[in-house]
């Protein structure tokens, strides 16, 4: 490989450079001064993270193979080494590796590939869920792992409870947290594993499984764990397309009708906004009871009405210095109410698709263990529109009348962009079935 990434870029054919910029358009926003600046940007944490966020599960596993097969001295790997670790579907693995090379995440000639530095900075410190090499952890563990026959004998001698701990850590991540007293007893499973160098204490509260131990335990699934080179199937039981269209139209009409009912109730009795922001739980419940709309749907439609400009905040009629703000219909509500049904629905649907609100967070607790209310700032999520479009994109790919389950759609979303899916789950959790209206 060229001495530096900038040199490598200079040696790239025009077509390959054009492909890179098409796959990673952020590299030219703003336009870099020269190829040296482009090389620096291509290795930056922000740009690398953005590139990784768009990769599917299998491609990320192939990237883990590249990280795991690096030479400890010069940090290089090779196409053959990566494909050998990502065993199974060789053509799919080669396709994934080619994509990583085109993205400049694993640049270099086939016999001397490098993983760009930013990858390690924004990825898990445990590639494929495997721990660090034993030599980096402990001398006793290193000696055990250097003798494969002894390592196998030690694993076979592990008591059932200790083997259960090993199996859990072998699936990844390789670090286990100790609860108070977990390893205090001399006969505890964890203590047995530590005494026999199958686990290494890395702190008073945690242990780590050496990489070599994990690889032996994964002899059936492969070093990278279970591989799924192709996306999971989505389809579900087929339904009559006309019936589905009719049901969808009915739901659209219901959404418009319920929104109008809520705004009419707000017009009759505006709701006082909380000083901390948002609407109080009691007020939302009252609106739900008055209109006959379920509470989750009430929360969603109030958020959508706000995003559509049909409701907003204003000072109370008798407002004075420091007076309270109230939530009520806007002037535009009267215009909207007089429009044809299709136009009213289009406005609500467009607002929902574009709003940066994660309504599924309403009712959950924030970082300070306070409830998240309707219209509260804690439910603001810049990535919400992209998530909705991803779901709709999957549904649009299916034949009319297809009825996939929520789990099928979630599985495909997770496979297509696991890093984004993990981030979304950490931020929002899983919405209950009562929130299906928001999907």
Q: pLDDT value at position 365? A: 86
Across residues 138-159, what is the average pLDDT?
97
271: enclosing H helix or E strand = strand 271-272
Pairing type for strands 200-201 and 325-329 reads: unpaired
pLDDT band at 266 (very low <50, low <70, confident <90, very high): very high
Confidence of residue 84 (pLDDT cuts 50, 70, 90): very high
What mean pLDDT is predicted for residues 96-114? 97
Alpha-carbon span 211 to 144, nearest angstrom: 12
The per-residue pLDDT for range 159-192, each reduced to its tens digit, is 999 999 999 999 999 999 887 655 556 678 999 9
Q: Which two tokens stand for residue 97?
A: 């590796």
Q: Quick one: pLDDT at residue 235?
A: 77
pLDDT for position 17? 96
Percent of the chain with pLDDT over 90: 79
Q: Is the pLDDT of residue 27 over 80?
A: yes
pLDDT for position 316: 78
Average pLDDT on 189-196 reads 95
Q: What is the pTM of this model?
A: 0.83
Q: What integer best gives the mean pLDDT of the chain?
A: 91
The band of 318, judged by pLDDT with boundaries at 50, 70 and 90, is low
pLDDT value of residue 368 = 83
| Confidence check: pLDDT of 435 > 90 | no
Distances (CA, A) of 235 to 228, 241, 404: 18, 14, 5
Separation of alpha carbons 333 and 309, rounded Å = 8
pLDDT of residue 112: 95
**Three-class DSSP category at 206:** strand
DSSP helix/strand/coil, 363: coil
% of the chain beyond a pLDDT of 70: 92
96: confidence class by pLDDT, cuts 50, 70, 90: very high
Give me the count of residues in the chain: 439
Residue 248 has pLDDT above 50, yes or no: yes
Q: Which residue has the higher pLDDT, 179 or 424?
A: 179
pLDDT score for 432: 35
> In angstroms, rounded to a whole number, what is the distance separating the alpha carbons of residues 10 and 157?
56
Is pLDDT at 4 greater than 80 in this prediction? yes
**In the predicted structure, residue 438 carries a pLDDT above the cut 50:** no
State yes or no: pLDDT of 431 exceeds 80: no
pLDDT tens for 35-76 read: 999 999 999 999 999 999 999 999 999 999 999 999 999 999
């Amino acid at each position: 490989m060229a001495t530096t990434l900038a040199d490598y870029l200079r040696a790239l054919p025009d077509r390959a450079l054009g492909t890179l910029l098409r796959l990673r358009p952020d590299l030219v926003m703003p336009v870099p001064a020269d190829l040296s600046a482009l090389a620096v940007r291509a290795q930056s944490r922000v740009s690398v993270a953005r590139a990784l966020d768009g990769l599917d599960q299998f491609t990320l596993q192939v990237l883990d193979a590249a990280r795991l097969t690096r030479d400890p001295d010069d940090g290089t790997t090779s196409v053959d080494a990566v494909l050998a670790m990502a065993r199974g579907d060789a053509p799919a693995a080669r396709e994934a590796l080619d994509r990583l090379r085109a993205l400049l995440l694993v640049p270099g000639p086939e016999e001397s590939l490098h993983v760009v530095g930013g990858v390690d900075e924004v990825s898990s410190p445990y590639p494929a869920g495997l721990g660090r090499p034993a030599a980096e952890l402990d001398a006793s563990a290193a000696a055990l792992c250097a003798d494969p026959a002894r390592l196998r004998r030690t694993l076979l001698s592990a008591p059932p409870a200790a083997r259960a701990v090993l199996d859990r850590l072998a699936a990844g991540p390789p670090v286990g947290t100790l609860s108070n007293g977990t390893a205090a007893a001399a006969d505890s499973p964890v203590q047995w594993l530590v005494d026999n160098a199958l686990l290494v204490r890395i702190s008073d509260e945690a242990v780590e499984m050496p990489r070599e131990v994990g690889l032996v335990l994964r002899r059936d699934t492969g070093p990278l764990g279970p591989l799924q080179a192709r996306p999971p199937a989505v389809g579900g039981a087929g339904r009559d397309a006309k019936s589905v269209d009719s049901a969808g139209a009915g739901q659209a009409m219901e959404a418009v009708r319920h929104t109008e009912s809520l705004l009419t109730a707000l017009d009759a009795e505006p709701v006082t906004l909380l000083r901390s922001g948002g609407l109080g739980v009691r007020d939302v419940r009252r609106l739900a009871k008055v209109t006959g709309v379920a509470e989750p749907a009430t929360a969603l439609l109030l958020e959508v009405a706000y995003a559509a400009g049909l409701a907003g905040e204003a000072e109370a009629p008798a407002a004075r210095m420091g007076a309270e703000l109230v939530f009520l219909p806007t002037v535009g509500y009267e215009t909207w109410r007089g429009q044809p049904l299709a136009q009213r629905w289009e406005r609500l649907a467009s607002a929902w698709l574009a709003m940066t609100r994660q309504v599924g967070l309403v009712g959950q607790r924030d970082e300070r263990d306070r409830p998240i209310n309707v219209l509260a700032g804690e439910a603001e999520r810049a990535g919400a529109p992209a998530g909705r479009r991803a779901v709709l994109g999957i549904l649009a790919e299916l034949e009319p009348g297809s009825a996939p389950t929520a789990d099928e759609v979630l599985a495909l979303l997770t496979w297509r962009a696991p890093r984004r899916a993990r981030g979304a789950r950490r931020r929002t959790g899983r919405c209950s079935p009562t929130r299906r209206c928001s999907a």
